[in-house]
Structure 1
Amino acid sequence: MSPEFIPPAKPIIGDEERKAVDAVLASGQLAQGTEVASFEEEFSQVLLDGRAAVAVNSGTSGLHLGLLAAGIGAGDEVIVPSFTFAATANSVALTGATPVFADVDPDYYTLDPASVEAKITDRTAAIMPVHLYGHPFNVDAIGALATKHGVKVFEDAAQAHGAAVNGRKVGTFGDFAMFSLYPTKNMTSGEGGMVSTGLADVERRLRLLRNQGMERQYENELVGFNCRMTNIHAAIGRVQLTKVNGWTKTRQENAAFFDANIEGVVTPKVAEGYEHVYHQYTIRIAEDRDGFAKALREEYNVGCGVYYPIPNHRLAPFQTSDDLPVTEEAAASVLSLPVHPSLSQDDLDRIVAAVNAVAKAGS
């Protein structure tokens, strides 16, 4: 009999989340209201060192509204990584601006400052790096570039709840930052996003944009959207927020076990002074990554995922002739293993044994 399948990700929803949702349903106050406001305040205190947080209905909405609130629009260029989920570039394009793709570094898969600087033009309005897999981007180098060239920095922190650089939380470096609350992220609200900003004018525009341009009902101040989070989703998020730091510790412990025991592949690196929250534990396979993944799934019942097999600059909406060699190599060789907090010690042992066996068989 085959061992039980180990999923690559597993949302954790318990009795506390169910009770919180039931309480909202019983109240009859389902749309954005006091539950959302409480979630914003608590998210700010737990993950943002007090920086303002604005809840929205998805991470993509958070990026889109953040860009608009920061003044990005037609004629602007925003430098982004090609090695990321398409939402990063999509959100730029949705404002009427142009996403410009830069390469990533080979160690952390985050924006390479040298590649970014080579892409800066007189139309560059901002740089929007991604804290990929839960490892922060090079905040010092990117920040220095932004200052040198007079452009803004925005953070795509979709995968990086609680990550930090020298003790400073991600989400507090840019004019705005976005955290995704999709079910497979390090914490969830079922679906949703949170945007942080330290700028009062950006915060106010975010709140207007998510609510049809209104602060007071029927007094529309600008053209906006319906990107509100519901009280139902916020209730889930509030409970998850009480658990996320413990889950992060477990992810880090799981990653440390892999670091110590996995052989035959390239394991993740962590920059000095950086706190990695391991949304993904991403290894690199020298040859035949897809065959390696197939063997893990079919021979060992170990789930895994490729994030991301097609770089953004190769996708139909964005096809360019950019030469991004590190991005291309990463897209062909990365593989993410289960690292989520639901893993048992037996699961961890099975994952290590499977990876080592497949690596040895292919060597």
Structure 2
Amino acid sequence: MGGNSEQEAPAGILPDRMIAELFESGALTATRPLDSDQIQPASLDLRLGEKAYRVRASFLPGKTTVAEKLENLKLHEFSLEQGAVLETGCVYIVPLLEGLQLPAKVSASANPKSSTGRLDIFTRVISDHCQGFDQISAGYNGPLYLEISPSTFPVVVRTGSRLSQVRFRTGVSLLTDSELSKLHEEEVLVATSEPNIHNQGIGLSIDLTGDENGLVGYRGKRHTGVVDVDRKAVLEIHDFWEPIYNRGNRDIVLDPNEFYILVSREAVHVPPLYAAEMVPFDPLVGEFRVHYAGFFDPGFGHAAAGGLGARGVLEVRSHEVPFILEHGQIIGRLVYERMLEHPGALYGQDLGSNYQAQGLKLSKHFRSG
């Protein structure tokens, strides 16, 4: 990342090797040793610290530090060392084990991990003096905090639990419409003959035909038991989810304030030299939010990494009024950014990734079948 002039400095997402170098240089710090799988191909998993604060409301620190805001807004403080339950409808702030002392040309952005989004846990990273959630300005020096608000299921978390992830970048590396079109012609980014490319993104539509059994998706149940975010394949699906089947129609009514897991009609492909992110398609097309967890790492859906046919799983929540989704309706878009270099490991077979080659799939906490 060296001594290039500003005009010559390359723009792109930092891969795993460069993230490791941030730790070695002191630009990234942690109060405990890193987990062996914490550094991903284009991101770093962030870990919860030793304590949590229940707060009256969500906030941005603005001109103050997060710690100063917490003094006025916290209701109570509790330890996460032995694990603790976070209740639905409540807002918590947790200091993270990782902190930053970023170089002047490196900025960062955060997103919930895939499993976090599929559990309807709303998370946002906050930094001191920040004016926006999940955005960390270049050169930031200070601690990181995670706002957590479970919406459907109460969850058990503990020190070291990983609910969010952060990407580091230099410059502006987002592909333009013409660059996206060219890359799609070369690599097939989404499996469709007529890609919807506009506003620096490529559209994804909803699949409501269902799988071989007609299963279209799932709706989260209310008043369930707790989900331990660190335990894989231990929960029964029917205890937490109501399956939704295609009964001859090609639409679905989203009930207000209910949470749905659905799937994209198109297979998604992220080539090794790129990273992608799901963003809202257009706030004017409907009163719903799609995809809380937006990062797609290099190698997702890449055939050589065991990902042929991987589709985007969509976390959908309607707001205020019932809303009808129709099969094939575009509800999200993928934006692509360049990597600074090829990651040392790709999402998928290299890492034993949970969601490679996925179709409709719940989070890793539930038993399959």
TM category, shorter: under 0.3
How high is the TM-score relative to the length of structure 2?
Answer: 0.25
Q: Which has the higher helix share?
A: 1
How high is the TM-score relative to the length of structure 1?
Answer: 0.25
Q: Which has the higher strand share?
A: 2
